[in-house]
Amino acid sequence: MRKLFFLKLILALLFITTAFNSLLAQDTEIGSHILTVSIPEVAILDVESTEASTSITIGPTAPTEAGEALDFSTVTNNALWLNYSSIKNTSTGDAARTISVVATGTMPTGMTLSLTVADPAGSGGGALGSVIGGGSAFTLGGGTQNIIQSIGSCYTGNLANNGHQLTYGLAMDNSDYAALDAVDTDITVTYTLSDN
């Protein structure tokens, strides 16, 4: 009798386990799951060149006749382009971004380095920034200056001929002509993409 009781108990437990498992394994005509779309925050910037390097040289034309001065009237270089990609995170209050510039190093006496930033060109899209000052030249060397504002989620396109063309100019105050020295002077120009 005891054996019969244990056998019935084992059969009952087996039946309950099988029934419970079959209830859990029931499929229906509907299935669902969670899919999360994840957009990363992006803020990257670089300088591209139409030449072999982003290190450029700018300087006046040497005179070809005795008695003439160095010619600063056409001293420009527009080989560099500013590229950037930006995806904002509005949940953190990131409404727009700006790009600033700072030039470090000691300019030769009497010389002024200027920067003109063109409106965006090329294959980019989205909320590209607008140039502060509407294309007027910025004088470099007096600290950090914002040059592009209202950058949203966007991309400029990559390499030269995309983004903002950068034109550097060099001017000389003739009253300091006597201070000129025939040496190369390195100036580091740094661009930064940042949240407002």
Q: Tell me: pLDDT of 23 over 60.
A: no
Whether residue 134 has pLDDT greater than 90: no
CA dihedral 106→146→60→160, nearest 10 degrees, is 120
pLDDT in tens, 78-90: 999 999 999 998 8
Residue 93 vs residue 159, higher pLDDT? 159
What pTM does this model have? 0.82
DSSP state string for 23-83? HHT---S---------PPPEEEEEEEESSS-S-----PBPPSSTTPPPB-TT-EEEEEEEE
In this prediction, what percent of the chain has a pLDDT beyond 70?
88
End-to-end Cα distance, the chain: 85
